[in-house]
Amino acid sequence: MTYLKELSFPVQFRPFSDMMDHFFGNIDHLQGRDDLPRAVPRVNIVEDAAGYKLEMQAPGFAKEDLKVNMENDLLTISAEHKTEELKEDERFTRREFSTRAFTRSFRLPELVQADAISAEYVNGVLKVSIPKKAEVKPPVRQIAIG
């Protein structure tokens, strides 16, 4: 079984990252904004004989907000949804909508067929299909015994 490797900070930095998320979340709350989630979307990755199926929850994004790129052996999924600009005659008493963005990258094994990767976005779930290359078996040659 081959695993897709996610690029992330080393485990020793996780407590610092959690502390910063907690700290900045509290500042957002003091500024009149709810403690909105800042985590990247979660993924499920399933491997079968034909390839990998990656599903990522990304509700609230339009299909046009999402990008799936493949460079060398690195699959990168990113999205950005910007808040509309204020109009001159608008004055918000509370504004919680904001720019939302994320980026996740996965290092793919050599056995995938990079030029055949496809993606679709349905009901807030991005589905990426990553087929494996056909397994090349060396030909078997019968050797006569003399």
**What global pTM score does this model have?**
0.64
Residue 89 lies in a domain: no
* Domain count along the chain: 2
Same domain, 113 and 129: yes
Q: How confident is the model at residue 120 (pLDDT cuts 50, 70, 90)?
A: very high
Going 59 to 16 to 96 to 100, the CA torsion angle's sign is negative
Q: 77: which strand partners?
A: 68, 104
C-alpha closest to that of 56 among 2, 10, 13, 106:
106
Q: Which two tokens stand for residue 74?
A: 């690195």
Same domain, 32 and 59: no
Determine the distance from the C-alpha atom of residue 133 to the mean position of all C-alpha atoms in its chain, rounded to a whole number. 22
Phi–psi pair at 34, nearest 5 degrees: -65, 165
Residue 112 lies in a domain: yes
Going 82 to 87 to 88 to 92, the CA torsion angle's sign is negative
Same domain, 33 and 55: no
Same domain, 24 and 74: no
Cα distance between residue 25 and residue 20, in whole Å: 8
Q: 130: which strand partners?
A: 52
Residue 71 lies in a domain: yes
Does the structure show a pLDDT above 90 at 131?
A: yes
* Strand 74-81, strand 66-71: pairing: antiparallel
- Looking up residue 58, the CATH number of its domain turns out to be 2.60.40.790
Residue 91 lies in a domain: no
Q: How confident is the model at residue 28 (pLDDT cuts 50, 70, 90)?
A: very low
Can you give the pLDDT at residue 24?
A: 56
Between 23 and 125, the more confident residue is: 125
